[in-house]
Amino acid sequence: RFVSNHTPSLLNPSAAVKRARNDSGNKVAVVLGAQWGDEGKGKVVDLLATESDVVCRCQGGNNAGHTVVVDEEEYDFHLLPSGIINTKCTSFIGNGVVIHLPGLFEEIDKNEKRGLKGWDKRLVISDRAHIVFDFHQAVDGLQEVQRQAQEGQNIGTTKKGIGPTYACKASRTGLRICDLMADFGEFSTRVKNLVLQYQSMYPALKVDVESELKKLKDYAERIRPLIRDGVYFMYDAIHGPPKKILVEGANAALLDIDFGTYPFVTSSNCTVGGVCTGLGIPPANIGEVYGVSKAYTTRVGIGAFPTEQLNAVGELLQTRGHEVGVTTGRKRRCALWFYVLDEIKVGVAYKINGKRVPYFPANMEVLQKVEVEYETFPGWKTDTSAVRKWSDLPPKAQNYIRFVENRIGVPIKWVGVGKSRECMIQMF
Ligand code: IMO
Ligand code: MG
């Protein structure tokens, strides 16, 4: 029997294995919301996107609203990664995102009018992403009405159909982009069955399924050139030539379905685990993770908010900070801050029955009742929006920032002092 000298021994690692031992591939940098959303993720993503080759969304849907201000022009993004304005970068919508196609095109049209060009050459969509239908949005509204009637309060969702779509995904009745790309007759049957299921739960639900399908057929042809196998797309981005890859988190840590203020949360994992599952990449490829926080906290919608300022301070923050939801236009609830104030209080611990707890309580009734322990700092009472260097910040502001940094034990990389691209102080 002839045995080639070139037959590799099964006991020796292949070239790919040897490579993987030394190098797991390109890393992705991640930007996440550390509070209740609206921290200014769009601005940080915009800063990093200028040197990125790929910008990805991995979870959430058009419940997100990310504002980017470039040369006085204000863009707002909901489903599109904010990197889409960077002409050198590919924007990727991963499998963990839920996509409302009419919303996507509305957003594209709006941003085209503001000067966005060539997006169709730079946008890639995973074939595994789930589809948000108009009736998911209607059901989102009906569920809110039901919650209000049964419990006397709702969640205050964005009514973008996010919860119902992720629920369908988990109950395995959802439809994905790959289904829309395949046989349309089969797709239509599954959509109609889903509508029937919903109508048996919500008899008041009216759906014009034929007209929704007709619109989807048109959208399907418009997005067809953008659809890829998302897992392979990411594999290639990671293991191909060196690339800078950035992930734009949507929503925020305290809205995370596992770690947030459940049930007043969104329906996806907005913390770092969502990056791996929402893109199909291993943890070893996660590089720098940046959490974005405001100097004060805000929250839209309902739910425990222990440091909330239901007083003149809260009103001042709301108006001075222009705290209005980008997605829903609702006023944001506000808690504690900065330069116009004589003193700034920082919540440093929660107490239950007078005893400090070293964790964030899971149960909402408990969280509603916690007592907050504050540390107080003198306010600097000067406008800092023109400051670009750390050394030019008032010492009282520096003091406050260093205190926060030491308390959380995480180095602060940038301090934002205003809305637009230039309004950033880089710390290291
Ligand atoms: P970005 O990415 C602020 C809130 C909603 C509601 C709850 C559930 O812009 O920071 P949903 O529609 O997701 O089922 O609503 O979560 N919420 C956000 N609040 N910013 C966001 O995203 C949010 N995404 C969801 O207001 O209270
Ligand atoms: Mg927002």
Cα angle for residues 399, 346, 156 (degrees, 5° grid):
135
Instruction: Say whether both 242 and 96 belong to one domain.
Output: yes
Which domain does 374 fall in, by range?
310-379
On whether the CB atoms of residues 233 and 58 are closer than 8 A, the answer is no
> What CATH number does the domain containing 190 carry?
1.10.300.10
Q: Is 43 annotated as a binding residue?
A: yes
C-alpha 266 to ligand 1 mean position (Å): 6
Q: Which residues surround ligand 2, an ion (CB under 5 A)?
A: 37-38, 65, 326
User: Are the beta carbons of 245 and 255 closer than 8 angstroms?
Assistant: no
Protein residue closest via CA to atom 16 of ligand 1:
266
Residues 84 and 119: beta-carbon distance below 8 Å: yes
- The residue nearest atom 13 of ligand 1, judged by CA position, is 266
**pLDDT of 8:** 63
CATH code at position 323: 3.90.170.10
pLDDT value at residue 337: 52
Strand order in the sheet with 371-378: 355-357, 343-352, 371-378
The preferred substitution site among 75, 266, 324, 332 for testing ligand 1, maximizing ligand atoms within 8 Å of CB, is 266
Q: How far is CA 299 from CA 16, 144, 252, in A?
A: 47, 18, 11
Structure confidence at residue 7 (pLDDT): 64
Distance (Å, rounded) from C-alpha 163 to C-alpha 132? 10
The encoded tokens of residue 261 equal 């203020």
For ligand 1, the distance from its centroid to the CA atom of residue 258, given in whole angstroms, is 15
Domain count, the chain: 4
| Gap between the Cα atoms of 295 and 39, Å rounded | 9
Any ligand 1 atom below 6 A from CB of 266 = yes
CA of 37 from ligand 1 middle (Å) equals: 7
Q: What is the mean pLDDT of each run of 10 residues along the chain (428 residues)?
A: 65 84 92 95 92 97 93 92 94 98 97 94 98 98 97 96 98 98 98 98 96 98 98 96 97 97 97 98 97 91 89 89 88 72 89 95 94 92 93 95 95 93 93
Residues 233 and 248 in one domain: yes
Atom of ligand 1 nearest to the CA of 158: 12
| CB 420 within 8 Å of CB 75 | no
pLDDT of residue 339: 53
State whether 137 and 190 are in the same domain.
Answer: yes
Predicted local distance difference test score (pLDDT) of residue 189: 98
* Same domain? 219 vs 145: yes
Per-residue pLDDT, 192: 98
Q: What is the pLDDT of residue 296?
A: 87
Q: Which amino acid is at 197?
A: Q
327 marked as binding residue: yes
Q: Residue 14 domain-assigned?
A: no
Q: Is the CB of 33 under 6 A from ligand 1?
A: yes
Q: Which atom of ligand 1 is nearest to the CA of 160?
A: 12
> Do 136 and 258 fall within a single domain?
no
- 266 within domain boundaries: yes
Enter the pTM of the model: 0.94
Ligand 1 atom nearest to 33, measured from its CA:
10
Residue 261 assigned to a binding site: no
Residues 154 and 282 occupy one common structural domain: no
Residue 6 falls inside a structural domain = no
**Helix (H) or strand (E) run with residue 90 in it:** strand 90-93
For the CA of 66, the closest atom of ligand 1 is: 9
Claim to verify: residue 89 and residue 215 sit in the same structural domain: no
Do residue 218 and residue 175 come from a single domain?
yes
Q: How far is the CA of 249 from the centre of ligand 2 (A)?
A: 11
CA of 330 to the centre of ligand 1 (A): 11
pLDDT attached to residue 2:
64
So which residues are the catalytic ones? 38, 66, 169
**Which ligand has the nearest atom to the CA of 35?**
1
